[in-house]
Structure 1
Amino acid sequence: MSDPQQSAEQPRETAAVPSGPDEDSGRRRLRQALLHPGRSQVVVAVLLAVVAFAAIVQVQTAEDDDTYAGYREQDLVNVLSGLAGASRRARAEITRLEEARDELVSDTNAERVALQQATNEADTLSVLAGLVPVTGPGIRITITEVTGRVRADTILNMVQGLRIASAEAMQFNGQVRLVAQSSFTSAEGGLVVDGQLLSSPYVVDVIGDPSALAGAMSILEGPRVDLAEDGAEVEVTTLASLDIESVRPAVEPEYAQPEDAQ
């Protein structure tokens, strides 16, 4: 009969358990899944990658938001003060540039207006001085000596009356352009106008308001009456368009000079 104590002291031997067919099958499935993943596994992997990327972006955003987290209160005040000063300087510079722009635009417009006014005045003076041909409405006066000679004073009074009626340009017989300095002299065979001898009939083309000019010729004891007393017949024709082609040569001043040239 064996001793129970000795039986207890004898070492126990554990027999190795051989791997069964279930464990081998599990390893093969794991290896197969790693080497040849299925569609569901790919989807899960993509989702995990998206979640990881979102986490990284969130951490980076938090880090950016904490840029000034370590600043002291006074440091933050200084930063804000500097930004406010830069903003004020920028606004002041913008205001200055806008004012400079407006001033340039105003100066340009003023120069343009002044230039236009000067051009208009030069054109008007050129017309009055007889330096350029002109076209416009007006009247044509035809004076034919019948029983007597027309006196120079009668013609001068007629011209003055037409000027009072705002005549802008006048010419005699298509040859002589009348200006402020024009002169009339009675002569054998006709009239001398600005040094040129003209003979009857005298054709006077006048540009201006036709009704005003015609009225100036027909007033009581006016030019028409004076010409009739000199023995001449007078015909006045109103024209919607009249061309005055004769011009006077420009006269260069001998002594006077523009202020800029002094």
Structure 2
Amino acid sequence: MNYLANTFLRTSALLGFRSYAACSITTKNNVHTSRISFDLMEFFDSKKNWTESNIKVGRAWKLDELRIKSNTDLHKLWYVLLKERNMLYTMEHECNRTMRLFPNPERIDKVQESMQNIETVVRERNVAYYKLETGETGERPVEDVVNMFGLPEKYESSEHYLPKFMNTRWVRPYLEHGLINSIAVKKFYRLYKEKLHNVERRARNRDFNHVQQLLKRFPNLDMDVLKAEYPNVDIEKAKRTRKARGLFDPKY
């Protein structure tokens, strides 16, 4: 009996050791380590830059440079820029809180420009892929519609759980009762067009008066350059005005 018990204990211990060894080997192969974490200090700039008033930085990433990179590199670069942007926002907030000058605020613009360029490159690749596979761009379709104020706008189609013809809450006030064709909307659209016309008219008169003053002060002005600078102004008409002539006869 003692012999059987001792044999059972030795066998159990051996099996336990083997299972423990197997688990340790499997865990060792699957476990990996990452770099050292600096906790919340990752949201702050390097301490040597805290007292600097001018930090040397590079330019933003250009589209031509990003187009030659792989998707993996773009994915890594995106998170590097995202981390840099979070750090810059944190430092800007801290400088505003302590009433200090934030050095080189254009760094935020450069990071945002780089991230926008990455999005542009990724969209270009997605469009090219979908055109090759399906013949379509793969992006959300856009159509020209008229909003509730009677103004044209771009509408991006999206999925809805209810079809358009069944959505009485949208169809009845928008189409059947014709809010876009109502008297109030027509009046608003007429006044809106009148406002745009007045803005355009004032801008045109302002340019015309400025050209008259230029002709008065500089009688030998190059007319080709003047026409290229102000294409919407009738130069010949401006020459015949009294404001352009002044108190002497011009040479043109």
> Taking structure 2 as the reference length, what is the TM-score of the superposition?
0.22
TM-score (normalizing by structure 1): 0.21
Question: Highest CA radius of gyration, 1 or 2?
Answer: 1
Q: Which structure is higher in RCO with an 8 Å CA cutoff and minimum separation 6?
A: 1
**Structure showing the higher strand proportion among its residues:** 1
More helix by share: 2
